[in-house]
Chain A
Amino acid sequence: MWEAATDGRRLKFHLTGINNQNFIMADEETGTWWQQVSGEAIHGPLKGRRLNGVFHDELTFATWRRERPQGRVLRPSEDNDAWRKFSERWEEQTAKLPVVTQAAAQDKLAPRAVVLGVNLNGAAKAYPLEPVERQSPLVDKVGGVPLLVVLGEDKKSVRAFETTVDGRALEFYVKADAVGGGAWRMFDGETQSEWDFTGRAVAGALAGRQLKKIPLLKDYWFDWKLYNPQTLVYAFNAP
């Protein structure tokens, strides 16, 4: 998700090509080619510029609607059925497509394994879905920033937050009985405040506080690795 402007000038983008399986978009105004995943201008008059990222979440529709009942939703195109046909099985179909970039021999992840990528202070880390699903919240540190990666009540939505509040890193846990009965809540070990999935404390000493959100990029491993060659991979140390 990018700000569609540079230097105060609005840009209108079109799909125009593909670069090692990440698409290239061209703006109508200057004809510059932009890489979708990095927001970087790779060819043309604006080469070297970067679009500003716009913070976004990747959530299930039910979770989003519960949080933002007043929101608006993109309506499907009515003038063509191609998208419907394409979209019905796009996820399974895409998972079967070949990958053209070379995987490193030591890579344990499959090229099309889905990872959640974090980029903080120049450090990159990929969280495969499996450990996040096994242990949530997952507590870690990237680029010196203590953070948590947490799976929502729907078991599909994932968010990441900085865990530092008032200069101290809190420890968080999801109360087992919160899942299923009643509203989903996280608790911090220090004050026992209750936190919802948006990262806001809704009860307890810290009520009203908001954890700082960290952008997560859901991506295929091969693509994340290509644009973050120095990335670390979170390893779940099973006993």
Chain B
Amino acid sequence: MNTKTKRRLLWLALLAVVVAAFAWVFVPVWTIQPFKAQTPGGLNLSYTLRSWSTVATPVALALAALLVVVLWRGTRWWMKVALVLLLVPPVAATWFSRQNHFEWMFKPLAQSAYVAADKVDFVGDEEMVLAVEVNGDAVAYPVRQLAYHHVVEDTVGGLPVVSTY
């Protein structure tokens, strides 16, 4: 194999790695859109990609970086610019794989705190609450708050509970 063919193959490999890193995080985002129908197959693929993404994306980044180093020497300056730019998607994918973009919009409650019923001034009389009682411990979760956070952790009368809406 001559040098030219070899370099061409290395470029192709780099492009493939960059596209794969991007697709790895983009496919689940695309599949799991709020106003799109999901299929079991699509969800299954998304689950698989997402559960491996924190491993797959840094591996792709390392591979891409290695290829960039190999291709760096003997390349013209504008090709070097291209090589650096090609590292952007794997860097972004590595960062994104450690993010929960659903929690960007709906921030979770870091620590839930409670107020005695007779001291509450932040819930209107007509507002709806989800009410639960276990072993005499009665708790109300205002629906307005649940609708935003989606998930609230608590221990009610000794029972671990997740309140969802």
Contact = CB atoms under 8 A, between A and B. Distances in A.
A183 interface: no
Given A43-B43, A56-B132, A15 B113 contact: no
Contacts of B43: 17, 19, 33, 42-43
A31 B47 CA distance: 9
Given A25-B150, A43-B44, A156 B113 contact: no
A181 to B, nearest CB: 19
A182 interface: no
Interface string B121-165: 011111111111110011111111101111111101001111110
B143 A74 contact: no
A4 B153 contact: yes
Interface string A76-114: 110110110011001100100110110000000000000
B52 to A, nearest CB: 10
B155 to A, nearest CB: 9
Interface residues of A, number: 63
A109 B45 CA distance: 34
Nearest to A59: B131
B107 A80 contact: yes
Contacts of A4: 153, 160-162
A59 B129 contact: yes
A57 interface: yes
B127 A76 contact: no
Nearest to B31: A17
A87 B147 contact: yes
B116 interface: yes
Given A15-B106, A64-B140, A73-B117, A43 B47 contact: yes
12 contacts: A2-B161, A2-B162, A13-B151, A14-B100, A17-B28, A19-B43, A33-B47, A56-B131, A68-B131, A68-B140, A70-B116, A77-B107
The 3 closest A-B pairs by CB, nearest first: A71-B138, A62-B125, A43-B47
Given A17-B43, A100-B35, 20 more contacts: A1-B132, A1-B164, A2-B162, A3-B159, A4-B161, A15-B102, A15-B103, A17-B28, A19-B32, A44-B51, A54-B132, A58-B128, A68-B117, A68-B140, A71-B140, A73-B123, A83-B144, A83-B148, A98-B35, A154-B126
